Each structure stands twice: as C-alpha cells, then as structure tokens.
Structure 1
C-alpha cells in the first residue's frame, strides 16, 4: 500500500509517535487536496487577480509555505523569523499589496517545490520530538494560552482556508477565459 493509498487514514506513520502521526495524517490530507486544487495551472493563472484587492493563487501557495516556516521557527526553535527570513517570506506572510507586487512570474513547479521543501523540513523536525511536545503551552493570540498541538492544527487550518480561496479564484479565472 502506498502513501496515497492511505491518504484517508488518520493513523500511525512509521517513524513518528501516535499523536504526531495523527496530526501529520491530517496535514498530509490537507496538502493532498491543495495539490489537487492547483493541478495543471499555468503561470498566468497562478498570477491572476480577480480584483485589485485579491491575492493570487501563487501568493496563497507561497503563504502556506511561509506560515509553516514561521511555525517551525516558533515551535521548534522558540524564535521569531530572522530579518533574512522575513526578507524571503515577508511578502508571502503579509500578502496584500506587498504580496501582489513581489509574488509573480513563477510556474507551478516553483510553488510546489517551495511547499515540498518546507514540508520536508517539518517532517524532519517532527521526528525529533515526542508526543508530549505537542502539549507545550505558551502565550499566543490575544495573550491566551495555546499548545503546540493547536498551533500546528492552525498551520493546516490556514491551508484549508486558503485552498477554498484558491478553488474560488480558479473558478473565476476559468469562467473569464
């Protein structure tokens, strides 16, 4: 049975403890459906804006990688992104005008490679911690406590939200063609 055959299972994954396996199972499914949503898109479609305030599909894909990178730093390394990392990821984290200006002209393979590189690092990092690590708490939004389990849930929750936007944009740009 291949990994794709197990995409609908929230189950143990070899090399990871049980709770982390289940979290990664959910992250893997979210990514699987994101990849389906962008399959076959051309650079022009990835750059398309449906109005002057929207984000492009390419920007949303890079945003997913940027969010995951930021949570790697926060949860595994107990730090914010460095100045150099912000120079690389800032437009994708912020989106909006900065993202519209900076994130353009890439083909789908560029975005898929960025997503893959970041996810591979996430997978490597998760191999280094036990399930109990997920329970670690720190102040989060609005000075409320959150644990790492919630923070990593938010990583793929954010991806799912933006995948919905991607599907919406894809329908709009296809109907305009």
Structure 2
C-alpha cells in the first residue's frame, strides 16, 4: 500500500475518497518512518529493555498493529475486542509486564508482517466508507464525543508518539 514514489505527498489515492486518501497518506508516512526506525534490528535488539519498567522495540511494533486492529473493530464493527482477540492483542495493547513477558524472541519480519496484515485490512475497510463516515460522531474516551477522523488520527498519532521511544531505545542499545 505504501507507494515509495509518493511518500511525501498527502494526496489522492486511487480507490479512496479524498479525505480517506489524505488520512491514509499520513498513516503511510508514519508507518514508513516507523519501519525505517526498526530497519535491520536483530532479535536481541528488538527484545532489549532499558529497565524493568520499559517496553521493547518489538512490543512497541506489535502495539502499533494492536491499536490499529482495535480501532478497526471499534469503528467498523462497533464493538470491543472479544476474549479471543484480547488473548492475541492484550499484551501488545497494554504493554507493561505482559508485553515484556510475552512479546519477545521474534524476528523483525514477524512484526512487519503483523503491521502489514493489519494495515491491509485497514485499507480494505477504508475502501468501504466515504468522507462522510469520517465525520460521524460517537461517544469516545471518558464519554466525550469524537468523530472517526479523530479516532483514526489517534491511531497514527499513537504510533508517532511511541516511535520516539523506539529511537530512544535504539540510542541506548547494549546488545
């Protein structure tokens, strides 16, 4: 989905409405820079922890996929993750101790495949809605109103925020 020839253009993407295209353009650029930040990291580097309370780069990468998946479910299926989905995504969504314990020992390709798999589904889902859908308001955090545009902005805003952690961890790698 990421067109490397147009990575710096926020513009129309064939098959999508104008605002969906722009949203996807921004999401794709955020993902491109995330993948560049993790490029060529070894399993030991992906598993490295700064301290007993920190997240690994691998856990953060899986977190990005988990957040995007959770927003697919919330905005397109209008539900919360079920028990089975939480058994898959819970440690990545919550990070913390469960993430440190369960998200480790994976090659970079494992995380990239998960990110790509979830993004592919996002693209398929976005192909089913139009710009009007982005402005649909619903109850969100703390019973506030938010629209789908904000919710999906948060998906890549969260990724950008945590990518800063990845860059910090990379500077401190001791493996």
Q: TM-score range by the shorter chain?
A: over 0.9
- In the alignment, which residue of structure 1 is the partner of 2:156? 156
Deviations, residues 66-88 of structure 1 (Å, cap 9, x unaligned): 00000000001101111100000
- In the alignment, which residue of structure 2 is the partner of 1:34? 34
RMSD: 0.9
SS of match in other structure, 1:105 = coil
Within a 5 Å distance, the mapping from 1:5-154 to structure 2 comes to 5-154=5-154
Alpha-carbon distance in 1 for matches of 2:126, 2:99: 29
SS of match in other structure, 2:74 = helix
Q: Does 1:166 align with 2:170?
A: no
**1:119, distance to aligned residue in structure 2 (A):** 0.3
SS of match in other structure, 2:138 = strand
Instruction: Return 5+ residue gaps in structure 1 as ranges.
Output: none
Alpha-carbon distance in 1 for matches of 2:3, 2:115: 18
**1:55, distance to aligned residue in structure 2 (A):** 0.3
Q: TM-score, normalised by structure 1?
A: 0.97
Alpha-carbon distance in 2 for matches of 1:116, 1:3: 14
Alpha-carbon distance in 1 for matches of 2:3, 2:32: 11
Instruction: Return 5+ residue gaps in structure 2 as ranges.
Output: none
**1:5, distance to aligned residue in structure 2 (A):** 1.3
**1:146, distance to aligned residue in structure 2 (A):** 0.2
Q: TM-score, normalised by structure 2?
A: 0.98
